[in-house]
Amino acid sequence: MEDEKLYKPGPTAEYLGSTVNTLAYWRYVGQGPAFIKIGRNVSYRGSDVKAWLRAQTRTRTGESASA
């Protein structure tokens, strides 16, 4: 995933091992990676997706989010 490239929900979900529906839910509840919305089109910047993924790192199951 290139840092400044914009990705549609399908490729983003595939990269994260998730689904497009999960990404839509995360947008609705304010979770997940930052996204860009232009009109009805949603995109994710590669650097935002990678930063969000790094922030999900845990050392034990009961640990809260680091960011």
Q: In what order do the strands lie in the sheet with 36-38?
A: 6-7, 41-45, 36-38
List phi, psi (to 5°) of 37.
Answer: -125, 120
Q: How far apart are CA 36 and CA 44, in angstroms?
A: 6
**pTM (two decimals):** 0.85
pLDDT digit string, tens, across residues 20-60: 999 999 999 999 999 999 999 999 999 999 999 999 988 88
The alpha carbon torsion through 23, 46, 43, 5 (nearest 10 deg) reads -160
Residues shown for the chain: 67
Expressed in angstroms, the distance from the first to the final Cα of the chain is 21
